[in-house]
Chains A and B, each alone.
Chain A
Amino acid sequence: MGDISTPLVRRDAAAKASGRATYVADLNLENVLHAKTVRSTIAKGEIFSVDVPPLPEGCFVVDHRDIPGENAVRIVFKDMPVFAERRVNYVGEPILLVCGPDREAVFAAAAAVRIAYREEPPTFAWTVSGNRHAYAKGDPGRAFDTAARIITRTYETGYQEQAYLEPQGMVGYPEADGRITLVGSMQCPYYVRDALLDVLACGEDDVRVIQAETGGAFGGKEEFPSLTGAQVAVAVRKTGRPVSLLYERAEDVEVTTKRHPSHIELSAAIDADLRVVGLKAKVGLDAGAYLGLSGVVLSRALIAATGAYTIPNLSVEGDAFLTNTVPTGAFRGFGAPQMFFAIEMFMGHVAALLGADPIAFKRRHLARQGDATSTSGTFRDPILADGMIDRVLELSQYRRKMKEYRKSGAWKGLGLSVFFHGCGFTGDGEATHIKARVRLEKSAGGVVTVRVANVDMGQGASTALTKIVAATLGVPFADVIFPHPDTLLSPDSGPTVASRTTMIVGALLARAAERLKTTWIDGEAQTVEERYVQPDFIAWDEERFRGDAYPAYSWGVVAVEVEVDRRTCQVDLKGCWAAYDVGKTIDDLLAEGQADGGITQGIAYGYLEKMEIVGGRLRQKNLTDYVIPTASDVCPTETVFVDNPFAFGPFGAKGLGELTLVGGAPAVAAAIENAIGRRVAKIPATPESILELIEHGKD
């Protein structure tokens, strides 16, 4: 068996390419009822009346009255209703479903539903805190009192829409034994399953959730399917029929969860040696109408407050604010992209104000192995960021080009970012909340089935996890199969989030495979299960926000080159160079694909993708107006992975999925700054905002 990183062809690719792969909208359920959601048209108020037109035969309305259990979707916080009952809190909030066998009738009936509201003044300003965290380290008071200089800046980031190519979809049907089965596009079958237990007031055997082939997710299908799953399950229970809830794109863009907009104020206490010895961070995130998992996004953002740097004295606080807008949620990076944009730009701005070269300045402060983390944990493993900076500077020809462009006066520039991503759930989440279990089932014929709850949503998990098992067992890849996760057949190995799938679940599978290998009996069916055990060096105090926030950190350095058009202020991406430390790649081709896709999303977050809400209504409501990159917009990208095996990761692997997005925005923003000679503190740095900077911005 060769090196595990050696690529092989992912096994789901041929079915996908040929159009044979079955996504949820491709399922043809007999006797199905098509469901359409009727939604609030106001941002805040009381539902005064709901008038449903006379419904044709076979048509049903499903609403809060049909919920046997709790009218609440479990998404960490249980504040989001399945169906709005007496109050609505955002434009687009679901109030009821109209279901029927004939789509014309459903469409007409849904359009004829008349809802009267008592409107109330909505809250759009960030005044109501739904969740607050704060932590400190060292003696920030003293650091700031004795500082030679204090520099304060604020940074803003906007919404980002996941824009997975396959819109959200969920179908459900009753089984003969009364169980309700859901099939949908999702990242976390057990999140959906657990949400159903509360909503249907039923037992675990009464529901089954199966992941359908999922056409992209990026976090957007982490918690949202719990809402649609609950709605469909209630509808199935009420009607006794299969129900299909498929979102159209405009609806998906308008009402599903997006990345939290942020407002971050950073203050640096600088000593006489021009070193940042203290940092104050004040973070605000817009959680939208319901908190959901926004507290966790806030946590991750706050933990990333010092970025890639060691700053001994910290005072960090943040709020997730509730506003009458579409609820925000998980999106690749989960609070880190916002924070790394702020801290990376800030370090660059501080350097400029101190007359220092920004890259040299960042290097001085780079965290090193053994340093305390922001939350007073320890960076236990080697940090290769310094060498990675060298590599990226060389690949991009950063210094030579910057000199040349400065001299020529052309609006060309490069920007460089340094960043990490904490792999896995924060602190003791794995041990206290997830408690992952995996199973390997070997048939008498020697075919091994991987049973986990983690899904392949395009990132290649089915191939990576299968490779780990096959390589550990020493059997051909073809002898290991990976069916779609199914709560009836797969143990709960936790959600497909937080860059934990390869590192945590892969490690569990490797352990299970080791055990199967040593106990293997030819010709016999065998089953091996493994449970997660927290390495004892991870100690996290959730109350004080102190200790090791993550078991491992993956690191990245990215350089982006741009040219800005003087007439139109449009940004042309000229090149992108990246170095990543993910411990060990499980497959070089999968890793490169994740790197390319992630950096494209991250860069676009920085300069291209704009989403605004005005008066509680989204202005960019479809893929025509919400602009994501086409093949014409991307640039040549060169990526290197450096080996830095993590002792507890399978074959040394750490997390990869989110890392590659995190560094894109600060790198492109810095490149634009260097090209136009103005400071960028707000993203996306669209041509409109660049024009404003040229006309009014600061050097």
Chain B
Amino acid sequence: MVTDRIPRTKAEALALLSDRQACVVAGGTDLMVKRRRWPGLAPAIPGAVFIAQIDELVFVRKEKDAVVIGACTPLAKILDHPMAPDLLKRAIAETAGPGIRHAATIAGNLANASPAADPALALVALDAVVRIEGPAGTREVPAERLATGPGRTELQPDELVTAIAIPDRAWTAAVFVKVGGRKADAISKVSFCGAAAVENGRIVCLNAAFGAVGPTILRVRDVEESLIGLTPAETAGDLPRILAAYGERIRPIDDQRSTAHYRKTVAINLLSDFILHL
């Protein structure tokens, strides 16, 4: 029985997903490892639909007020693209190694829903919006809300991420810090992505996202909003309150890569550093 599950168009892909039994494979760089069985044997991915060949999902383009990236755009392509936001590029540069970046896709990274994912961290910090298509039509979800837990998203089995839109914003301070087990080719133990816009001496926007400190990438909106309108100096003066508020929300775990105490301490250090250099 020959069933071609390698669609060439978005429409073909959606048709294959309509039975809700499919497993979407983009670059495969996470899935092919998660589902591996034994060298020589294909990984166990029942219902696999391979979408990496869908050209219409590979692009980086400018829309009004946003940069939009096709779901199946490889990370390396985004890294090279002049239009891609700088903070996203910095995150991608720290992700895995070149051999993975040429295959891994931006949507795959998000949909894999690892709290330690680096491009996803930047997307969350940049207020990216995920565009999804399904039988009911199209919808949008903030990148921050796509993951519902480690390895889980709110995507329906018959839905496909088609693009990620990153709103334009002129940041005056932008920081991406990945703390991995080594300097390259590593999974984040704890990571921080901060972006702030200070206009006329006052904060008009401040986003602070943390990776690998909880079940999903963390932002604490109420604290961010409480800083709008303050000057950097006032924010620095308010540091103890800010750090305490984040301290309550940052709840990492001990695992084979690091300890809860280290993750939390470093996360707070990185946030503090960011706040003090706005």
Contacts and interface: CB of A to CB of B under 8 A. Distances in A.
Contact of A103 (B41, B183, B266, B273): B41
Interface stretch (A278-286, A487-495, A590-598, A622-630): A622-630
B273 A248 contact: no
A630 B38 contact: no
B184 A568 contact: no
Interface in B100-123: none
A608 B40 contact: no
A628 B185 CA distance: 10
Contacts of B182: 608, 627-630, 632-633
Given A36-B38, A107-B37, A627 B186 contact: yes
B265 interface: yes
Contacts of A104: 41
Nearest to A604: B182
Nearest to B42: A104
Contacts of B266: 567-569, 687, 691
A107 B38 contact: yes
B238 to A, nearest CB: 20
Contacts of B185: 630, 632
Contacts of A628: 182
Nearest to B185: A630
A118 interface: no
B39 interface: yes
- Interface size grouping (class) on chain B: 20 to 34
B53 interface: no
Contact of B183 (A246, A569, A619, A632): A632
B179 A570 contact: yes
Nearest to A625: B256
A687 B178 CA distance: 14
A687 B262 contact: yes
- Interface size grouping (class) on chain A: 20 to 34
A620 interface: yes
Contacts of B273: 567
Given A246-B39, A624-B187, A619 B269 contact: no
A159 B185 CA distance: 22
Most buried by A among B40, B181, B265: B181
B172 interface: no
B113 to A, nearest CB: 18
Contacts of B179: 568, 570, 687
A119 to B, nearest CB: 24
B270 interface: yes
A246 B41 CA distance: 14
Nearest to A104: B41
Most buried by B among A36, A569, A630, A688: A688
B257 interface: yes
A631 interface: yes
Contacts of A567: 177, 266, 269-270, 273
B38 A627 contact: no
B39 to A, nearest CB: 5
A306 B39 CA distance: 47
Given A568-B266, A632-B184, A688 B256 contact: no
Nearest to A570: B179
Contacts of A629: 182
A116 B38 CA distance: 24
Contact of B40 (A103, A566, A569, A621): A103
A107 B261 CA distance: 40
A627 B183 contact: no
Interface in B182-216: 182-187
Interface string A561-572: 000001111100
Given A567-B270, A627-B186, A630-B183, A619 B256 contact: yes
Interface in B6-35: none
Nearest to B265: A691
A624 B187 CA distance: 8
Contacts of A625: 181, 256-257
A687 B186 CA distance: 15
Contacts of B256: 612, 619-621, 625
Given A568-B179, A568-B269, A619-B256, A630 B184 contact: yes
B72 to A, nearest CB: 24
Contacts of A34: 40
A691 B259 CA distance: 11
A687 B266 CA distance: 10
Interface string A74-115: 000000000000000000000000000001100100000000
B38 A248 contact: yes
A625 B255 CA distance: 10
Interface of B: 37-41, 97, 177, 179, 181-187, 255-259, 261-262, 265-266, 269-270, 273
Given A107-B38, A569-B266, A624-B187, 5 more contacts: A248-B38, A566-B269, A570-B179, A628-B182, A688-B261
5 contacts: A567-B266, A619-B256, A629-B182, A632-B182, A687-B179
Q: 9 tightest A-B contacts by CB? A: A627-B181, A632-B184, A632-B183, A619-B256, A567-B269, A688-B262, A630-B184, A625-B256, A107-B38
